[in-house]
Structure 1
Amino acid sequence: MSDDLPAGSAPAPAAPGGPDELRVLAAPRQLAVDEAMFTAPGLPGTFRLQLFTAPGARAVAVATQIGGEEGMGLMNGVERYAGAVWERHCPDQEVPPVWVEWQLWPEGSGREARLRRVVFAGADGYRPCGPRWTAITHEELQDLAGAPVAADRGDGYVPRPAEVEPQLVFGEFAVARLARPRPFREPGCMPAGVRWWRRWARQVLPRRGVRACCWYHGGDWHTVSAMALDVLQRARAQGVEADDVEEFAVAHAAAAGATGWESEALATLFSIADAIQPARETGYINGQHRAQAMLEAGVRRTVVLHHVYET
């Protein structure tokens, strides 16, 4: 199933996520749902849902969240978030709502809000799969929705009570000790995690091949992890705070002549939002797909993010 509506027989279908496709999807809609604390079953986290509908038109969902909120972020939970909206509010439509993420940031953070359209490759029941992110402008969003779209978290937003803040610490970690991943975005090339015997075999006979199946297999994690360990050592020596190591790592990658993929992959390892985070109860807070790619390649050591609570 494609993420596009049937395009008809005359012209070729517009490229998914492109300007032509957005113009095809645009329609005069009305705001049908505005829920400041939308939740998906089994997921910790909320977002503001603005759902725009019109007879005969595909629904448009705008999910708004503030960076650093407690719980699952928009990017990591996109399949289950979009599936919950689809099943709850427009179950009669054959395709999921047109999905737009609006990432806000706290005042004083110095970061600009980010708008991104998510195009799904298909769906299994009410669970979209294969997300791909593309930038969308505020003007394009307004035309797409066909009605005013609010640019805030909503009056009904209630932040979770303040908890003891953990200290964020990046550290070196043996990849073979990571929990067995259970990937959910790339079922074709990541069907069922990496078994224990296979991960140890890869430690003895590592692989460095690049595959075109997905982003996670699109580069050499041996090279990226070696760069990450170097960045970690340099950042500690220079007293770089955890929040600033991502920028420090990107600068290091540029100076080292890293490829675009290597720079992006290195940045994810030092991103507070996207770093690999092992969890005792669930295996991972984040990073299952990168962990699987590293295990398959036989990477020995990499960098992960720990939350350390003072006692």
Structure 2
Amino acid sequence: MTDDLPAGPAPEPATFRGRDELRALAAPRRLSVDEHMFTAPGLPGTFRLQLFTAPGARPVAVETQIAGAEGMRLMNGVERFAGAVWERHCPDQDQPPVWVERQLWPEGAAQETRFRRVVFAEADRYRPRGPRWSVITHELLEDLVGAPVARDRGAGYVPRTAEVEPELVFERFAVARLARPHPFREPACMPAGVPWWRRWTRQMLPRRGARTCCWYHGGDWHTVNAMALQVLERARAQSVDPDGMEEFAAAHAAAAGSTRWQTEALATLFNTVDAIQPASETGYINGQHRAQAMLEAGVRRTVVLHHPYET
């Protein structure tokens, strides 16, 4: 399950056209910045930034982050992270740096750790928009930058202090209270967030059923959230630890004879990495695509995860 994309297709490998573009961008660059704990103003996230530069060549920025351990994930914060790197390290460039992400997943996770290039559809000064992802191999990346690229998080990584982080808490939450989503991965069926008047209309006239456009619209969120609230109540009665909630929810789904999509969707709500996590400053740390699908369907209650940074 990638960030807020639990069962959707993986990013496509670079096409021939993409490879031609990479060859056109290739140049012998040098590693000019290796910042192991990069942070962007106002965002609860850190990552390693490797910035490769050369005179007359577009900078290439490579970001590496440990999933679930560094706050806002690279995919969710991509536009603002890229804008911050652009403004701080490449302020004279007319375009953002070539952006490559590497999310490090724990051993045994369903997600695969890969380099992924992000291409933005447009960009004003320090404000890139419309990201699209594609896989890039380590070999292609090193050909692009003309220098070795580290794959790891780096010796300068500083784990967050465990004692300052309160226990994660799952709780009921009114969907209509969620911030306006700004989906970036499914522009055809999620072109913009759900305005306030439409979300209240859907509360009165809910929609059920599935659509074939994407995973997020692929099932009935009303059914899934009804199960989620049952899971939450039973888990509290049995004092289930937050880290055990996903397994507890999967067992509930199996006992209920749920479909594969319902089981996957329910699991995302109780996964401590993939759960919907509202953020007071940024709207979402995670979950805005599912939030939009729920708002469009008129779901009234869901389950969210209190993130340490929101206490």
Q: How far does residue 79 in structure 1 lie from its aligned partner after superposition? A: 1.0
8 Å Cα contact 1:249-1:267 kept in structure 2: yes
Partner of 1:130: 130
Corresponding residue number in structure 1 for 2:260: 258
Q: What does 1:51-130 align with in structure 2 at a 5 Å threshold?
A: 51-55=51-55, 57-91=57-91, 93-104=93-104, 114-125=113-124, 126-130=126-130
Classify the secondary structure of the residue corresponding to 2:275: coil
**Corresponding residue number in structure 1 for 2:195:** 194
Give the CA deviation at 1:299: 0.7
Does the aligned pair in 2 maintain the 1:17–1:118 contact within 8 Å?
A: no
Give TM-score, length-normalised by structure 2: 0.72
Between stretches 148-157 and 181-190, larger displacement belongs to 181-190
- Please point out which of 18, 30, 36 is paired with 2:14: 18
TM-score between the two structures when normalised by the length of structure 1 = 0.72
Distance 1:102 1:271 in 2: 21
Give the number of the structure with larger relative contact order, counting CA–CA contacts within 8 Å between residues 6 or more apart.
Answer: 2
- Distance change (3 Å), C-alpha of 1:222 and 1:288: same
Residues 176-198 of structure 1 show CA distances to partners (whole Å, capped at 9, x for unaligned) of 3x244252637884645432x54
| Distance 1:190-1:231 versus aligned 2 partners, 3 A rule | farther
Residue-by-residue CA offset, 1:112-155 (whole Å, 9 max, x unaligned): 87224143341231322233344444444334433211233334
Q: SS of the counterpart of 2:168?
A: strand
Number of residue pairs matched by the alignment: 289
CA contact (8 A) 1:100 1:117 kept: yes
TM-superposed deviation, 1:203: 2.1
Question: Which residue is 2:241 aligned to?
Answer: 241
Contact persistence 1:181–1:289 (CA under 8 A): no
Q: SS of 1:147's equivalent?
A: coil
Within 5 A, what are the aligned runs for 1:211-226? 216-217=216-217, 219-226=219-226
Are the aligned partners of 2:250 and 2:266 in contact in 1 as well (CA < 8 Å)? yes
Q: Any conservation in 1 of the 2:183–2:193 contact (CA below 8 Å)?
A: no
* Aligned residues of 1:67 and 1:103 also touching (Cα < 8 A): yes
Q: Deviations over 1:222-245 (max 9, x none)?
A: 243234345545656776532243
Report if aligned partners of 1:100, 1:118 keep a CA contact under 8 Å in 2: yes
**How many angstroms apart in 1 are the aligned matches of 2:62 and 2:153?**
11
Distance 2:281 2:57 in 1: 43
Of stretches 40-49 and 271-280 in structure 1, the one that deviates more from structure 2 is 271-280
Residue type of the alignment partner of 2:195? V
Answer yes or no: is the 8 Å Cα contact 1:180–1:193 preserved in 2.
no
Shift of 1:208: 2.9
Secondary structure at the aligned position of 1:157 is classed as coil
Deviation of 1:57 after TM superposition, in Å, equals: 4.4
Cα deviation, 1:7-41, whole Å, max 9, x if unaligned, reads: xxxxxxxx975153246415343222211222223
Question: Does the CA contact (< 8 Å) of 1:116 and 1:133 recur in 2?
Answer: no
Residue of structure 1 equivalent to 2:7:
none
**Residue identity opposite 2:258 in structure 1:** A
Structure 2: stretches of 5+ with no match in the other structure? 1-10
3-state DSSP of counterpart to 1:99: strand
Q: How far off is 1:80 after superposition?
A: 0.7
1:246 and 1:221 mapped to 2: Cα distance? 17
Kindly tell me: are residues 61 and 226 of structure 1, through their superposed partners in 2, closer, same or farther at Cα, counting changes over 3 Å? Answer: same
Q: RMSD in angstroms over aligned alpha carbons? A: 3.9
Question: For 1:249 and 1:135, how far apart are their aligned partners in 2?
Answer: 32
In structure 2, relative to structure 1, the CA distance for the partners of 1:99 and 1:161 (3 Å cut) is same
Residue 141 of structure 1 corresponds to 141
State how far apart, in whole Å, the 1-side matches of 2:137 and 2:253 are: 29
Offset of residue 86 of structure 1: 2.6
Shift of 1:71: 3.6
Contact 1:64 1:104 in 2 (8 A): yes
Q: Which residue of 1 aligns with 2:182?
A: 183
